[in-house]
Amino acid sequence: MMLESLGNPLAGMAWPLALLLAWLAGEAISRWLSLPRVCGYALAGFVLASGQLGLLPQPAGTPVALLADFAIALVLFELGQRINLNWLRHNRWLAVTSLVEAFGTFIVVLLVARGFGLAPLPALLLAALAMSSSPVAALRVANELHCSGQVTERMLHLSAFNCVFAVLVFKAIAGYWVLTSAGGLLPALWSSLAVIGVSAGIGAMFGVAVPTLLRWQRRGGGDATVIFAIATLLLVSLTHALQFSALLAALVFGLVVRYRRIVFSGADRGFGTLGSLLTILLFVFASATLSWSQVAQGAGLALAVLVVRTLCKVGACVAFAGLSGIGWRKGALTGLALTPMSVFAILLLEQTRHLGIDVFAQVAGLGLLVLALELLGPVATQRALILAGEAGREEGG
Amino acid sequence: MTLEAFKAGEALTMGVELELQLVDLTDFDLTAAAADMLFLLGKQPFPGDVKPEITESMIEISTDVHTDYGALLGQLGQMRNALVEAGDRLNVGVCGGGTHPFQRWSEQRIFDKPRFQELSALYGYLAKQFTVFGQHVHIGCASADEGLYLLHALNRYLPHFIALSASSPFLQGVDTLFDSARLNSVFAFPLSGRAPFLLRWEDFAQDYFGKMESTGVVKSMKDFYWDIRPKPEYGTIELRVCDTPLSVERAAALAAYLQALCRMLREQGEQGEPVSEDDYLVYNYNRFQACRFGLDATLVHPRRHETLPLRDDVLATLAQLAPHAAVLGSTGALDVLRRVVASGNHAGDLRRWYGESGGLRGMVDAAVRTFRGDES
């Protein structure tokens, strides 16, 4: 608005300027408040967005969105590498925890949304989004604090699983919504499963091909991050063109690479400088898609969902803590660490734009929920990991 | 406070302590999982003892007092199984090895216990750099003087234990070319090395320990990091030069080897075989040879002053011990060690895995599977 008067030269500089300001905000918030840097990025993105100060144009559907997809795909690739499916075989109660916290959240959020008078389909979409715990904040905070321990491990695993569930359910419901005339929920679920199957298949293909390429080139290590970043970029463009899920494909890509025994060393975690830069972009992008008008509505619903979602995740993790081999306190902290949701939810929404559903318009309160969790979620994760005594460095990042 | 009395007991009993690594199953680096492991292990009876070590990525197990090799091996196997099961439930790998091949000591967390925090404050980076993993073997002594006699009589055999147990060729990401790089870290401590040459407990307690204590440098025997030290409260001498082997089977065999050696040395002592301070002339040289070259080391005999291959010396000693092992019921242990002499120690296995898997992580992965008993 007021900055528009400065004209075009500034418009071209909008994104670099926003990144700079976001970086400054992140450093400031980390140094003076000991809060995670990503909160600063998110705050800067929201303040600078078109609906507020107006430095940034609405980024949804622009090339910046593709970059953001790339950024989150890198995170999911790294997360996939850290997922040990064997763990579920040895610890069945962890699998139970995962199912209960994810689908329990789905059910309670659905009930609350219906109680607030939301129509069935928007309520279902909101419930599906609420299942997911954003792995971006989780992984970023865990890496920044050099965390290791049960809360960290479980947070990352549960986050990966509930994101898969969220994509599955969300795609099924969205598909049903778009194709209501074409049949019931069951066919929609089937088509969603097919999308997920093919997305996972593409990811697995990359997971086999890239390590082979790497082995052929030379023995693993060193510059492996470059080829994985390029492959992820290719994966994102490919899944976009075919309208499959880039999120799932990237996760499976990482998972399969893990079983090919190629793993990043600590120094490469988070894709180094590239990862740090793209994280700023990702958080600025995510919160810049929100506008004040969306946020100002439905405070009651947003607050209620926030509360029941947190209670459900904490409750499930506490309930099965003992059975899965940790104390109830670490269980509760695991649940708390699962609070973040926003970046993943926004990217999931962004990637289903082609379906033509404006979920923010349909679900009053989602905007505020997403903004609140984008700012509070990483803080919850950070505090949980520090309270669990799993942070290697205790400063805010 | 003077040194406590030596609680002499049954001779030739043995007990084993193993310091083990806790590793992340994703990147195979050390992981700070000790507190979580101890919590889970504490929920059911553990077949032995388990406790924290100085950094959060180590755990120490110890057996009961045994006289029989088979029973010791059995208990170590049960403890191994309990650890592996707990690790499976927590997504943590447990493995042996004297060093972790690529951990960065600066990233280790000191376990939250007053003694460890004090050591960390005193030794600074040495405490973190001391993230190395050893096997300690206790041998029970019928008297304190017998303990001191054995301690000094054993010095000539010390390189055998270093070479047979060596499992720490890699440190900070590179092959050190030592078979046991771990002992070099131990040597950095001011109170490491060998015990003073005193053969009567009274002399040791008053003349040496009492004086050292009054200097304020030490408070208890725990402050000495000697290769072999007396442990008065247990009535044992404690051999501390072994790297933690990659399997509990080898750990048990090493303990039985020490037990049989002590039986032989005891008999020699009773026949009036003297020990002398001159035996230590070549001590550090032989120790270095064993650390550096493992079973390929060349030793200098402390009395005959001639060089001899360590491998031959071990084989000759194993042959000499056969009657003692037969009495003690540990012939099987000597067979295990004979195979080690023939096919190489764990340091050699680690180097081979490094080459085969093309990296440090693949090597740690193989070590984790070896500890589980899946192979080797």
Q: Which amino acid is at B25?
A: L
Q: Where are the beta strands (DSSP E) in A188-293?
A: none
The kind and range of the H/E element at A128 are: helix A120-131
Give the CA distances from residue B339 to residues A186, A241, B312, B345, in Å, rounded to whole numbers and listed in that order. Answer: 64, 61, 13, 9
Instruction: For chain A, give the mean pLDDT.
Output: 86
- Distance from the A120 Cα atom to the nearest Cα atom in chain B, whole angstroms: 40
Instruction: Test B36 with A84 for CB contact under 8 angstroms.
Output: no
Supply A336's token pair: 């708390």
What is the rounded distance in angstroms from the CA atom of residue A270 to the CA atom of residue B172?
Answer: 22
User: Do A78 and A271 touch, CB atoms closer than 8 A?
Assistant: yes
Within a domain: residue B134?
Answer: yes
Within a domain: residue B87?
Answer: yes
Within a domain: residue B2?
Answer: no
Q: From chain A, pick out residues whose CB is under 8 angstroms from the CB of B23.
A: none
Quickly list DSSP for B265-280.
HHHHHHTT----GGGG
Q: Output the pLDDT for position A8.
A: 59
- Weakly modelled stretches of chain A, pLDDT under 50: 1-5, 220, 394-397
What is the rounded distance in angstroms from the CA atom of residue B260 to the CA atom of residue B12?
Answer: 8
- What's the gap between Cα B1 and its chain centre? 29
- Distance from the A91 Cα atom to the nearest Cα atom in chain B, whole angstroms: 5
Q: From chain B, pick out residues whose CB is under 8 angstroms from the CB of A325.
A: 40, 43, 86, 89-90
Instruction: Test A266 with B107 for CB contact under 8 angstroms.
Output: yes
- Distance from the A334 Cα atom to the nearest Cα atom in chain B, whole angstroms: 14
Which of A46, A45, A28 lies closest to A37, judged by CA? A28
Nearest CA in chain B to A261: B362
Instruction: Test A263 with B107 for CB contact under 8 angstroms.
Output: no
Q: From chain B, pick out residues whose CB is under 8 angstroms from the CB of A214.
A: none
Per-residue model confidence as pLDDT tens digits over B244-299: 999 999 999 999 999 999 999 999 999 988 898 988 999 999 999 999 999 999 99
How many beta-carbon pairs below 8 A join chains A and B? 69
Mutate to test the interface with A, among B23, B27, B81 (most CBs of A within 10 A): B27
Q: Output the pLDDT for position A183.
A: 60
User: A3-132+149-387 domain in CATH 1.20.1530.20?
Assistant: yes
Instruction: Test A264 with B27 for CB contact under 8 angstroms.
Output: yes
Q: Output the pLDDT for position A395.
A: 38
Task: Supply the range of the domain harboring residue B274.
Answer: 14-372
Helix, strand or coil, per DSSP, at residue A184: coil
Within a domain: residue B5?
Answer: no
Q: Name the residue facing B27 among A91, A263, A326 (closest C-beta).
A: A263
For residues B19-28, give the mean pLDDT: 92
Q: From chain B, pick out residues whose CB is under 8 angstroms from the CB of A263.
A: 26-28, 361
Interface residues of chain A, partner chain B, Cβ below 8 Å: 81-82, 84, 87, 90-91, 146, 148-150, 153, 157, 219-221, 258, 261, 263-266, 324-327, 330, 389-390, 392
Q: Output the pLDDT for position A219.
A: 55
Residue B357 has pLDDT above 50, yes or no: yes
- Distance from the A263 Cα atom to the nearest Cα atom in chain B, whole angstroms: 6
Domain boundaries, chain A: 3-132+149-387
Instruction: Test B40 with A148 for CB contact under 8 angstroms.
Output: no
Dihedral sign for Cα atoms in the order B279, B285, B291, B297 = negative
Instruction: Test A149 with B86 for CB contact under 8 angstroms.
Output: no
Instruction: Test B25 with A389 for CB contact under 8 angstroms.
Output: no
User: Do B244 and B20 touch, CB atoms closer than 8 A?
Assistant: yes
Q: Output the pLDDT for position A235.
A: 94
Burial zone of A129 (CB within 10 Å; 0-12 exposed, 13-18 middle, 19+ buried): buried
DSSP state for residue B18 in the 8-state scheme: E
What is the rounded distance in angstroms from the CA atom of residue A381 to the CA atom of residue A138?
Answer: 7
Within a domain: residue B168?
Answer: yes
Choose between B150 and A228: higher pLDDT. B150
Per-residue model confidence as pLDDT tens digits over A28-46: 999 999 899 999 999 999 9
Q: Output the pLDDT for position A262.
A: 63
How many CB atoms are located within 10 Å of the residue A271 CB? 22
Supply B306's token pair: 């001639």
Find residue B139's DSSP bridge partners.
Answer: B14, B237
- Could you report the predicted ipTM of this complex, rounded to two decimals? 0.85
Q: From chain A, pick out residues whose CB is under 8 angstroms from the CB of B37.
A: none
Find residue B174's DSSP bridge partners.
Answer: B171
Q: Output the pLDDT for position A396.
A: 35
User: Do B298 and B289 touch, CB atoms closer than 8 A?
Assistant: yes
Mutate to test the interface with B, among A153, A255, A258, A264 (most CBs of B within 10 A): A153
Q: Name the residue facing B109 among A157, A263, A392 (closest C-beta).
A: A392
Instruction: Test A263 with B26 for CB contact under 8 angstroms.
Output: yes
Find residue B237's DSSP bridge partners.
Answer: B139, B230
User: Do B120 and B56 touch, CB atoms closer than 8 A?
Assistant: no
What is the rounded distance in angstroms from the CA atom of residue A245 to the CA atom of residue A235?
Answer: 10
User: Do B49 and B16 touch, CB atoms closer than 8 A?
Assistant: no
Q: From chain B, pick out residues whose CB is under 8 angstroms from the CB of A142.
A: none
Give the CA distances from residue A153 to residues A37, A101, B21, B85, in Å, rounded to whole numbers and listed in that order. Answer: 21, 16, 18, 17
Residue B376 has pLDDT above 50, yes or no: no
Supply A382's token pair: 């950070």
| Sequence-ordered alpha helix ranges (H) in chain B | 34-41, 69-90, 114-123, 125-129, 144-153, 158-165, 182-187, 201-202, 211-215, 248-270, 283-293, 310-328, 331-343, 346-357, 360-372
- Residues 6 or more apart from A101 whose CB is under 8 A from it? A158, A162, A312, A313, A316, A317, A335, A338
pTM: 0.89
- Distance from the A34 Cα atom to the nearest Cα atom in chain B, whole angstroms: 21
Instruction: Test A258 with B88 for CB contact under 8 angstroms.
Output: no
Residue B9 has pLDDT above 80, yes or no: yes
Q: From chain A, pick out residues whose CB is under 8 angstroms from the CB of B26.
A: 81-82, 84, 258, 263
- Residues 6 or more apart from B272 whose CB is under 8 A from it? none
Within a domain: residue B205?
Answer: yes
What is the rounded distance in angstroms from the CA atom of residue A57 to the CA atom of residue A44?
Answer: 14
- Residues 6 or more apart from B316 whose CB is under 8 A from it? none
- Distance from the B61 Cα atom to the nearest Cα atom in chain A, whole angstroms: 20
How many CB atoms are located within 10 Å of the residue B302 CB? 17
Q: Output the pLDDT for position A227.
A: 84
How many CB atoms are located within 10 Å of the residue B63 CB? 27
Q: Which amino acid is at A368?
A: L
Which of A260, A367, A258, A230 lies closest to A305, judged by CA? A367
What is the rounded distance in angstroms from the CA atom of residue B46 to the CA atom of residue A347?
Answer: 48
> How many domains are there within chain B?
1
User: Do A353 and A61 touch, CB atoms closer than 8 A?
Assistant: yes
The kind and range of the H/E element at A309 are: helix A299-319
Choose between B128 and A348: higher pLDDT. A348
* Percentage of residues in chain B having pLDDT higher than 70: 98
